[in-house]
Each structure stands twice: as structure tokens, then as C-alpha cells.
Structure 1
Amino acid sequence: MKNGVKEGTGWAYYGFGGTHELLRLKSRQIEHYRLRHLNHARKLAQKVAALNGHKRFLTAVASKRVKRVDRIIWLGLKQGRGIKGLLRQYLKAAKGLYKLKSFEEEDYLRGLVLWKLGGNRVASIAHCALGLPSITTLRNQVRIPPITLSPRQPTVGEVSKNVHLSFADMKEALKLPPQPSRKRNHHATNYIVGCCREHVHNTPIIFRSEKDVEEVFRCLADGCVHQAGEATIGALGLLSDDHNLYAARGILISGDCKQETGEQHAKVLQTTVDGVNAEKEDTNIRVVSVASDGESRRGVALTHLTFKRELSPESDIYNELSPLPFMDLHVGDDNITADKDYKHIFKRLRNLLLRERGFVVGGTRITPSILKNHLQAEKVSEDHICLILNPDDKQDVKLAYDLLKAVWSLPEVTINVNPGFVKARKALWTFGRSLYHLVIPYISIDLSLGDQLEHLSAATHSAMYLYMTDGKECLSTALYTDIVIMVKNAYFCVAKTKADDPDGLFWLILLRTDRLEELFGNLRTMVGNDANLDLLQVSWRLSSTTEIANILSKYPHWDRPPRQLQLPAVRLDGQPISTASDHLKPRCWDADLSVKKVTLQTSWAVGCRVAEGDIPGAPVEFGKMDESATTSNGAHKYTVLLPHGKPLVDPQCTIEEDKDDTETATAHSSILPTNELAEDDAEVRVEVEDPIADEGESDHGASGTHTAIEQTITVNGKPVLKSRALALWGKYKTRPASTDRLKRVQQVEQYSTRTPLDTTSVAKADT
């Protein structure tokens, strides 16, 4: 009784108070479970509602009614929205009631590429269909303003201004295409552009009245001035792996009629270099070399520019280069050197292999038929042989590489016991080793900088021996000289890098004109491959091509370069790597490219020994040259450019070119042949583009101190737009162009009297 009734005892043993307490406890338990059930039910209802919201949002996203959903989610979460808030924003965006204004850098860059390459129409479609920034927004993202063209002979001030504009936004980081022969009015300078720089001084090109236009066309008719059928384009390419600095930046646009001598063209190049140097304090840019594709007139100009004197003993690179036996030490001002594009060298070597009369190595003449027999003996497929020996396509870089690789892959020993066959195989193997040493430094990503220089040294010594023993029958003077100049420039540039940035890296593949050709390719994409540009169009678009090249360098997976311009990236064993890296950039290289680990004298000597091991007679010949290396006055008697004691490069004379060695006109990257557009098309394009030019010039904000330039002149008492007046004056001053658009691009006249060499049923002369 003291402890109460034991729990679980029947009701009959409970008193009144105990029964009441038991009922109260039971009621409390029942209420507890009832309320817990209600709470669970409410929570489940909330969970179901939330789950339904997620399901609705997932279904909405799967409908693909709105682009860039990730940005809606990111912005909603940043604003603290729940799933219902995100769903409401999505539905508003699907109905067009909500437009996302937040973009990432990649969105801006993607929009810029589409806008610059495709124009306003493509940019508008991308904005509506893909949710990319609008054209107005993209205009605010343009970082490189249009560059100034040179209506007369280029001046240092014009080039200096272009350098300043091109690198205006790069100060912290720094811490030639087609054009039709029609006349245009440049609003920014009030000049009539489209006349050649060689003779433009014979006519006034200031556009103030109708008489000015009349005088220009009178001079054109008299022949004292010519229409600029081509454009010379100059660009700066920095030796850097930074994608923001990598692309070439245009600094020179000048019309040309191709009547300029090499000495006159050298003055244009010197003016360009002086313009770059004028901005050296602000940009910290030093011109170390001038690259060319091998065009003969530019070769003479580069000789005048870069073979002024021998390297001074006081130079900071003299100690690095002077110990190299047979090295040519001629330089220009500030030790500037010339360079040749290695891809053009490879194409010219392929043309040498396809030469009908063949070439001679060690007294053995190799013709295309002999080469074909040796390839067949090594079980190379007939289709592949026909492809790489096809003489019709001399500009395909990939075909050039395939043929050169096929030659150096031939084994030295053959099962054929025919003496003539064995002798030819030995000659092919010797020549193939020279080709291997010349090509592999530019495509093998496993080679260090020292290894690359060793291969180039071996290629130079091999070429020097072949030229000394077999002469022009093996390598033409122009081809041999360009190979030597290319290798010499590589050694000089490494020496300059060691002096300027001892802890820096050096990328051999950047010594080329490839970056300028990328700009030309982008220009072609902008205007189409069936139409040509004029000077004003080039000046408006060239800066855009630089911006595109920068973007595609940062996002290379967006781009797929033309196959004909590619060299495959290979491992040291010759195995190609993935196609994603076909377009070789500095980021592709795996080996050590630091200059502080390279000794130029060692690399040069190792390459010489490799060449002596490949060619049996080379040690004796090099020994004779070394014994009489200098003359009595201390001058070098033999160098790579004095293999016979006579200079192959002389500013006072022109190197004789072999007609089988030179490439066709389409190979010249910096000056491309052009033609006239149909006159109606030209007028329409002028009227549409001139307002665009006005808007572009106002966007980039010319200096407020400039005097306002009138956009009209008075003709017969009526105001007429200057662009319209020029179009009317030029309408009947040209010959009828072909009615076929592609033939107009090739400068084919409508009533041509020339008989085509090879006509087909598809493409015949217009009659």
C-alpha cells in the first residue's frame, strides 16, 4: 500500500485516485501520439510539395525552353531563392518576361567570336537562340580598336600609333591580305585610299571637293599613279605563351602595286621597325627578327635591313655566338635578324623532290620516278604514293610533311642488290637525314630547347655540305640561303632571350609567319572566300582578327584549323599525338624550354658531329674549311653563307631563284592577289559599310582636338556623300568583270582574250 498499486495490475485493485491518475496518463499519451502524427503528416506534406517543385523544375529544365539555365540557378541561389522561386524565374524566362543579364567571361568571348566572324546577323541570332550577350553589350567588351591605315608611304608616326593602340590594354602583361582596286573615302583622315604607295605622291588624295576626285581619276587614267591591287600587312607577334599576348597584332596597312624595288621596300620595313621602337618605353617590346615567307622582293628588302654589319664584340650576345664555327654574324640595327617561315621551307623541299629533272645527292640524280620505286620497294601503298607525289597541290603543308617523312623513313639498307638502286638508296637516306633534322624540332613535343638546336645545327651542316658538293643541282641558292637564315635566326633569338630574360623560356615554333596567316584566315571568314577586301575593310577588321585569335588561343577546342595548314604534333619516336593538339601552340610542349640550361656552342658542335656521322665525306670537308677559317685580316673566310668563300647574301644583288623552287603567288601570306568586285556590289557595300565605319570611329573615340570632317561634297549644286561620289566616278572606269563571282575574285575579265591552259566543262572562260 505504501508504494501504490503495481503497474499492470487490473482495474479492480485501483482506488478512485489511482484510476483517475491512470486515465490522465493514458489521455496524455494518446494526445502525444495524435499530435506527433499530425506533425509527421504536415512534414510529409511539405516534403511532397518540395519534391513536386523539384520534379516540376526538373521537367521544365528538360524541356530546353530556356538557354543558360545554369546562370538562372546560380543567380537565384545567390539571391537566396528556393525551388519555387527558381521555377518562377525559369517560367518567366521561358515566356520572355525575364532576361538574364549576368554573363561569364566565356559567354562574352563566345559572343565576340560569333559577332566578329559572322557579323551582326549571326550575333543577333546567337543572342536570341543561345542567350549570348547582345551586340550592344559586346561592343563594350571590344579591347583592341581599329588600326590606322597608311594612304601614302607609311610613316613612323602611323606605325607608332598602331602599336600604341594594339597594346594599350597590355601594359601590365608586358611588364599582307586581299583588297579590290576600288577607291574609298577614309572618314577619319579625309583621304582617298586605294592608290599605291609607290606613286601616290603624284596625285592629291585629300578629299575636299569634286575636283579632287576628278584629279585622282585623271592620274589613274594617265598612269602616273596606280590602283593598289594588293595590301602589305605588318604585324607584331610576341614570343610568349600567354594567350592574351600570343596573337599577332596588325601595325601596318599599306596599298601596293608591286612595282616597288627591294631597296624601296626595305625603307617601308625600316619605317615599321622604327615605329615599333618609338613605343618601346611604353610597351617594353623589342624587335628581334623580321619574318618572311620567302617572297623574292621581301627577301631583298630583308637583306638590306638585316645584313648591314657584323655583330659587334661589345654586343651582349657576342660571347654566345662568336665561338660557333661557320656561323654568319651579320645583323642589322639593334642586332635584328631575318627569319623564314619553316612551313614554306617544307613546301619548297617537297617541290624539290617533285622536280621533273630531279636533284643530285653525292653525284646521284634522284627523280620522282626513282623516288616512287624506292617507296614501292618498302611496301608503301600505291594510293599513299600517288597522294604525296601529286604535283598539282604545292601549298598543302600536310602533304609536304607526309612526303618528307616518307623520305627520311626509308631504311639505309635495302634488299635490292642492284648497284644503281643501292647507290640511289644511299643518296636518299643521306638527304632524308637532313630533312629529319630540319623538320623534327618543329613538331616533336618531347624535344628540349637544347635538342631542337642540335637538330637545327645538324640540318644546317648537312645542307652546307650538300650545297658545297652538289651545288644548285641539289639545293637552289635561294632555298639553301633561306634554310640557313632560318636556323641562324633561331640561334640569335635564343641568345637574345638569354641576355634579356635569363630565366625565361623560348618557343621555336613561334618564329614564323603562321600567326599572320591566322589573321588572314579570320579575315577570309569574315567576308567570305568568294569576295575580296579593300584597304578600309582591312583596317576595320584587322584588330577584330587579333581579338579572335586571342580568344581561340585561350579556348582551342572551339577551333578546328584547316588541315592543309597543319603540321602534326609527334612524340620523339614519331608517333602522332591526339588530333586535339594538331595545331601546335606553346601549351602543347612537354619538354624543358628554359634558355638557362642551353649552351649554344655545345648544341652547335653536337649538331655538327651528327651531320658528320650521317655523311661520310663531311668530316674531311669541314676539317679543310676549319683549317682556313679566317683570312689574313681576321675576317671569316668560310661561313654557312660563304660556303665557297663568296657571299650568298649581298644587299647589292638579288639571289637567283630557281623556278622549280619558288612557290606560286598564292603562297605569299603577307601580300595576296586581289581583284575588283562587281560594281553594283561595290556600291552597295560602300553605302552600307560607311555608316558602320562612322559608328565604329565614334565608339572608339577619336581625340576631341580633331577638326570635324565634312562627309559630303557638292556635285552639280547638290550635296552628295563622298563614298557615293567615288562610287559614281569609278563606275565606268573599270573593265567588265566576269559574271562568275569566283572568277571575279581571280581577276578574270568578262570578255577575256586569253585562252586558258586547262579548261573543263565546269569552268570555262566567259564569252
Structure 2
Amino acid sequence: MDAVAEMNIPRLQQLVSVGLRRGSSPTVIVRMMQSALEGVYRPRPVLDSRTLDIALMVYRLGGRKLLYAVNHGLGLPSLRTLRNHMSFTKIMPTVGTISIEDIIHNICEVVLKPRDAAFVRQPLRGVSLLIDEVALEERTCHFRHNNSVGGLCWRHSPKVDLQLKTYADALKIAEKIKLEEVHLGKEMTVVSVSCFGESGTYPILALPTCKHVGPEESSTIYETVTSTWLEYAAAHVGMIWSWATDGESSRRKAGYEQFTREKLPRTSPIYGTVASMAGLNIFTGIHSITLDFDYKHIFKRLCTLLRSAAGMALCNGRIINPAVLTRFLARLPEQTDDSVRKLLFPDDPQDVPRAVELMEAIIEFLACDFGPVDADTSADLDSIRLLAVMLKSILAPFITPDMSLTEQMTHLSTYAHIAFTLFRMNRLTFMSNQLYGDSQSMIKNAFFCLAKQQKLDPTQRFFLFQIGDDPLEKLFGKLRMLGGHNSAMSYAQAIERLGHACDLQSVYLRQPDLTKARTDQHEAFRRC
């Protein structure tokens, strides 16, 4: 017993289990422990689903070397055992133009198979389709499953045969690239599926692109993925509620054309809810699909407008720009000249935390009393306070954890009405058509998704932060993380890393307690 207390016997649990199954006496079991301490006897690990899932998680997070170490030190299954007992997720790359067969394969492999393997029947969910790009290294790659060349832009690659049947085929592809008739992919456009009420996201389409794509190509993606999902997955997972994007121009134009084309029919289950909301645009796409824009990008664009020289025209023609904000922000108790400079002229204009800090600093004007001031200063303060109310209405619902869902939707409605009034008064001197339309579409989508959730299952929880394409941004972060010291990736490496990320997600779906352990670990790192 002292040896058991003082020394780490490898696979002690498995050793005792094997002895009990054999009907061994306590003396024999103790002798087996002594042999294990001396390295003479090594019991085999129990290959249950949990042990395999933990080994898979170790392999995907730490690679071969970490799995080798825990295999010898803790007795987890080896990589060979893992491959013999589990099937890894295989994302089908797009070689050439968009293929419906590839989308169907990815839906079955990434979405349906993990849900079936979880052995817990999942309720129908509302589905949001997310689309965004991640940077790629501009080089070709070879895919053995169809002996073809990948990494070429999906829009231009049909101009050449990508299958390598002869050496001349490779020379022809190289010549087309040299003549710029076929382009190398600079980015990978990813379409993924996120379910309301669930964490994570499921990539079902990955396209290399050269950036020279327009609304027509974006419409092709919208229509192809939507029709394929509705036919093969909607009955098993849930209907599409929205398409979310970051506001890229070609996708915006195609999105408005696709998802504001028809008025919500009176026979829709949510018509009685949304039609009674004064001023709400009830034009949608097929099956009441709405267009969504990521709220973090809306925050960044609002702050970019406030930081520009033109600024934002508010009530009585007052323009709020960096010159005005510099003068008033410096009066706030916790601000200095240096901090105000960092808020208004950041090193990285795309820094979301810095944008939120600027919005929070402006919101502080609602609680400040500057005492008696002259008429001109009072007019500026009134405009800034109106701006503060508008910014608080769109920011607070996403950063205030103790706010109820009713309060969140009330705040968003307040922003929509203030922005509408100011846009009618000042038009483009208030904000651009694109920013106004995108922010209003984001709020409209939130109300539509909430109404759909109430009709689908009012007992399920609805989280406002699940709108937008933030889960896809997190997935891109994982792809770069899986590269270790080299975050850059070719198209083939990106496809492989997508499969790794999906394997991790399927483990967390099958083993919910591992999800909690991962969350606790992240929280501990954050506090440190």
C-alpha cells in the first residue's frame, strides 16, 4: 500500500480492472502492481469512447509528440490505436468551381456524423450560415483523392483542366498561371454553419479565391449552399434563419438582392409578431431568411466614422469629429491627453477592444455634469449626449451580462429609431448608406431570429451574441494556432486544419465535461 501511495503505477485502474475480471486474488493483484512498478508488466488501456476522445483531443491540440508523451507517461492510446478505432474528419476541398457533391459530403462529415455519434438526440435548432475569408499562401497543392491541382481561384480555374493525367497537363496549368488567365488563391472563402443554442461552428465549404469576385459569384454561393442545406440537412438539424457576413461589398450587394427580395407572407408563423412592430422592414429571402452583419464590425465602422475628419452630423447640424471629441473627452475624470489620443488615433483602426473603449468613453458623458457652460458648448454637449445614447443602445446589449433579453431588444430598438431619425435629417453627413443599412439589418435580423425561436421552442434559451459571424472568426484563430510558430498556410494545410478543428469540436460535443474543463482553463489563463 505504501508503494501505491508513494509511486505512480502506470494504468493502475486498468490493472485492477483486469485482475478483477480474471477473478484474481488480492495477492495476485498486488504482485501485478509490483511487476508494473518494475516495468515488467504493462496493462493495456481500456479503449472506451472517453479514452479515445481524450487521446484525439491531445493529438489535435498538441500533435504527435504530445500524444507520444502521454501514451508512454499516462497510458493513453497511441496514434496507431487511435487511427484503428476512430475516423478523422475529412473536409472535402473545392477543386475547380463549386460542387454540390462536395457540400453534401462536408455536411454529412462535419455536421451530421458528430451529432449522430453524440448518442443524444439534439433538438431542432435555428441555423445561421456564416461567410468570411482567411488569408492563404499563394501556391498550388496536390490532392491525391482525385489527382488534381488545388489552390487555384474557384472562379477562374474552370478555364483549365486541373486533373494531372500527363506531364503536359502540369505545364499547361503553369502556363495559364503565368499568363494570369488562372489565378492563385490569395484567400479562402469559408461558409460554416452555426446553430442557435450551441457553441462552435461547422465549416461546409472552403473555396480558394483571388479576391476578384463580385456580387454574381456571391449570389452563386448563397443560392448553392442554401438549396443544398434545405434539401439534405434542414430536416435533421434545423432551418436556415440568417446569412451572416462582415460587410464585404460584393457580399453585401448580393445579400440585399437575395434576402430582401420578397415581403414576409401573411401565412408565416412569425408574421403576427414582426408585422406589428412599427417601422420594421419585413422583406426577406426564401423561407424567411434574413441578412445579418457582424456587430463587432459595426462597432469598428462607427468608430472609424467618428475618427474621420468629416465626422458625424447630429442634431442642429452639429458635427462630432476628432477635434470636438478631443476637446470634451479630456474633461472626463479618467481620461488624459495621452489616453484620448490613443482612443481617437489608434495604431490599429481594426482593434475592436479599442473601438469599444472609445464608445464607452463617449457613453460616460451621460453621467457627467460639466456645470454652467456657454451656449455653443452646451449645444455640442447636447449632440455628444445624443450620440452617447445611440452608442449605448447598440453597445450595451452585447457587453452587459446581467441585461435581460427584453432589455437587450429594447436597447436595439432605441438605436434603430434614433439612427433612422438622424439619417432622415442629415442623410450622408450622418453616416454612409452602407453603414446605416448594415446596422439596421443586424438589428432586424436579431428581432426575426428571436421571433423564430419563440415559434420553434420558447423554452430554449436565446443568446444575442450568437448572431453575427464571430464563431467563424474564432475558427480562423484556431486554424492559425494549429500552425504553431508558422500561422501562414497553403490551401491544403488550411483544409487539413479545418478537419482538426472539427475533430476537436466533435470531442466537445460527445464529452460535455471536457468543454467545461477547457472553459475553466481558458478562464484561469485569462486571469493570469
Task: Tell me if TM exceeds 0.5.
Answer: yes
C-alpha distance in 2 between matches for 1:198 and 1:332: 25
Name the structure 2 match of 1:765.
none
Within-5 A mapping of 1:752-763 = none
| Structure 1 SS opposite 2:291 | strand
The answer to whether residue 429 in structure 2 is matched with residue 473 in structure 1 is: yes
SS of the residue corresponding to residue 92 of structure 2 reads coil
SS at match of 1:234: strand
The aligned counterpart of 1:336 is: 289
Alignment of 1:150 onto 2:94: yes
1:55 alignment partner in structure 2: 2
User: Partners in 1 of 2:360 and 2:187 — Cα distance?
Assistant: 36
Find the partner of 2:389 among 427, 433, 444. 433
**Corresponding residue for 1:536?**
492
Q: 1:160 maps to what in 2?
A: 104
**Structure 2 counterpart SS, 1:377:** coil
Alignment of 1:434-453 (within 5 A): 434-453=390-409
Identical counterparts, % of pairs: 24
Q: Which moved more, 1:336-345 or 1:223-232?
A: 223-232
Deviations 1:209-251 (A, max 9, x none): 112112211222222221222211111111123xxxx321111
How does 1:528-677 map onto structure 2 within 5 Å? 528=484, 530-549=486-505, 551=507, 554=512, 555-558=515-518
* Rounded Cα–Cα distance in structure 2 between residues aligned with 1:182 and 1:524: 17
1:546 deviates by 2.4
How many Å apart are 1:105 and its aligned residue?
Answer: 6.1
CA-to-partner distance for each residue in 1:679-729, whole Å, 9 max, x for gaps?
A: xxxxxxxxxxxxxxxxxxxxxxxxxxxxxxxxxxxxxxxxxxxxxxxxxxx
Q: Does the 8 A contact of 1:146 with 1:541 survive in 2?
A: no
Amino acid at match of 2:402: D
One-letter amino acid matched to 1:365: I
Q: Which amino acid aligns with 2:46?
A: S
The normalised TM-score by structure 1 is 0.61
Pairs within 5 Å for 1:229-240: 229-240=186-197
SS at match of 2:313: strand
Aligned-residue offset at 1:386: 4.5
Q: Aligned to 1:450, what secondary structure does the other structure show?
A: helix
| The one of 339, 354, 357 aligned to 1:399 | 354
Contact 1:412 1:429 in 2 (8 A): no
What residue is the counterpart of 2:122 in the other structure?
173
> Which residue identity does 1:149 align to in structure 2?
P
State the AA in 2 paired with 1:346.
Answer: F
Distance 1:451 1:99 in 2: 58
Name the structure 2 match of 1:308. Answer: 261
- Alpha-carbon distance, 1:349 to partner: 2.1
- For residues 316 and 284 of structure 1, the distance between their equivalents in structure 2, rounded to whole angstroms, comes to 19
Asked if structure 1 preserves the Cα contact closer than 8 Å seen for 2:10 and 2:36, the reply is no
Cα shift at 1:141: 6.4
Task: For structure 1, list consecutive stretches of 5 or more residues without a partner in the other structure.
Answer: 1-53, 563-578, 584-767
- For 1:523-565, what per-residue CA distance to the aligned partner results, in whole angstroms no more than 9, with x for missing partners? 1112236352222222222132123245568425435999xxx
Letter in 2 for 1:55: D
Tell me which residue corresponds to 2:130. Answer: none
Q: Secondary structure at the match of 1:235?
A: strand
**Alignment partner of 1:192 is 2:149:** yes
**Offset of residue 285 of structure 1:** 2.6
The question of 1:128 aligning with 2:128 is answered: no
* Alpha-carbon distance in 2 for matches of 1:261, 1:327: 29
Q: Does 321-330 or 386-395 show the bigger shift?
A: 386-395
Give the partner amino acid of 2:357: D
CA contact (8 A) 1:316 1:499 kept: yes
CA distance in 2, matches of 1:143, 1:401: 43
Task: Give the aligned partner of residue 254 of structure 1.
Answer: 207
Question: Residues 375-412 of structure 1: CA distance to partner in whole angstroms, max 9, x if unpaired?
Answer: 33221143644543442122332222222112112225
Give the aligned partner of residue 473 of structure 2.
Answer: 517
Cα 1:132–1:418 shift into 2, 3 Å: farther
- Please give the alpha-carbon distance, in whole angstroms, between the structure 1 residues aligned to 2:19 and 2:391: 61
Shift of the alpha carbon at 1:374?
2.6
Kindly indicate whether the alpha-carbon contact (under 8 Å) linking 2:107 and 2:233 is maintained by their aligned counterparts in 1. Answer: no
The 1:237/1:281 distance shift into structure 2, 3 A limit, reads closer
Q: How far did residue 203 of structure 1 move? A: 0.8
User: Counterpart amino acid of 1:547?
Assistant: D
| Aligned partners of 2:15 and 2:32 also within 8 Å | no
**How many aligned positions are there?**
506
Could you say what secondary structure the match of 1:283 adopts? coil
Q: Which amino acid is the alignment partner of residue 380 of structure 1?
A: E
Letter in 1 for 2:163: I
**Structure 1 position 340, deviation (Å):** 0.8
After superposition, the Cα gap between the structure-2 partners of 1:89 and 1:303, relative to the gap in structure 1 and judged at 3 Å, is: same
Match of 2:360, SS state, is: helix
Mapped contact 1:414–1:422 kept (Cα < 8 A): no
**Which amino acid in structure 2 is aligned with residue 58 of structure 1?**
A
CA 1:460–1:582: 2 relative to 1, 3 Å: farther
Provide the TM-score with structure 2 as the length reference. Answer: 0.86
Q: C-alpha displacement at 1:91, in angstroms? A: 5.9
Mapping of 1:684-763 within 5 angstroms? none
Amino acid at match of 1:558: R
Q: Distance in 2 between matches of 1:493 and 1:89?
A: 59
Tell me the distance in 2 between the aligned counterparts of 1:348 and 1:202: 38
Deviation of the 1:88 alpha carbon:
4.9
Residues of 2 paired with 1:299 and 1:118: CA distance?
Answer: 39
Distance in 1 (CA, whole Å) between partners of 2:184 and 2:302 is: 35
Aligned partners of 1:144 and 1:165 also within 8 Å: no
Q: Do the aligned partners of 1:247 and 1:549 also contact (CA within 8 Å) in 2? A: yes
Q: Which moved more, 1:140-149 or 1:444-453?
A: 140-149
Question: What is the Cα deviation at residue 423 of structure 1?
Answer: 2.4
Q: Matches of 1:87 and 1:346 in 2, distance apart?
A: 67
Partners of 1:381 and 1:74 in 2: how far apart?
65
Contact 2:188 2:491 in 1 (8 A): yes
Corresponding residue of 2:127: none
Q: CA 1:289/1:90 → structure 2, altered by over 3 Å: closer, same or farther?
A: farther
The answer to whether the 8 A contact 1:247-1:546 is kept is: no
Give the Å deviation of 1:433.
1.3
Structure 1 residues 395 and 557, CA gap change in structure 2 (3 angstroms): farther
User: Which is worse superposed, 185-194 or 334-343?
Assistant: 185-194
Provide the rounded CA distance (Å) in 2 between the counterparts of 1:497 and 1:157: 31
Structure 2 counterpart of 1:515, one-letter code: P
- 1:160 touches 1:278 (CA, 8 Å); kept in 2? no
Shift of 1:485: 0.6
Alignment partners' CA distance in 1, 2:84 and 2:414: 52
Stretch deviating more after TM superposition (551-560 or 405-414): 551-560
Q: What's the CA shift for 1:267?
A: 1.0
Change (3 A) 1:531 1:452: closer
Change in CA separation of 1:104 and 1:415 when aligned onto 2, cut-off 3 Å: farther
What residue number does 2:461 align with?
Answer: 505
For the residue of structure 2 that corresponds to 1:237, the secondary structure is: strand
* Cα distance, 1:74 vs structure 2: 7.5
Aligned to 1:30: none
Higher helix fraction (1 or 2): 2
Residue 388 (str. 1) matches residue 332 (str. 2): no
- What's 1:289 paired with? 242
Deviations 1:490-541 (A, max 9, x none): 1111222233334433222111212112221111112236352222222222
- Does the C-alpha gap of structure 1 residues 220 and 561 become closer, same or farther in structure 2, counting only changes over 3 Å? farther
AA aligned to 2:470 is D
For residues 274 and 532 of structure 1, the distance between their equivalents in structure 2, rounded to whole angstroms, comes to 33
Q: 1:454 to 1:390 in 2, by over 3 A?
A: same
Q: SS at 2:134's partner residue?
A: coil
**What secondary structure sits across from 1:173 in the alignment?**
coil
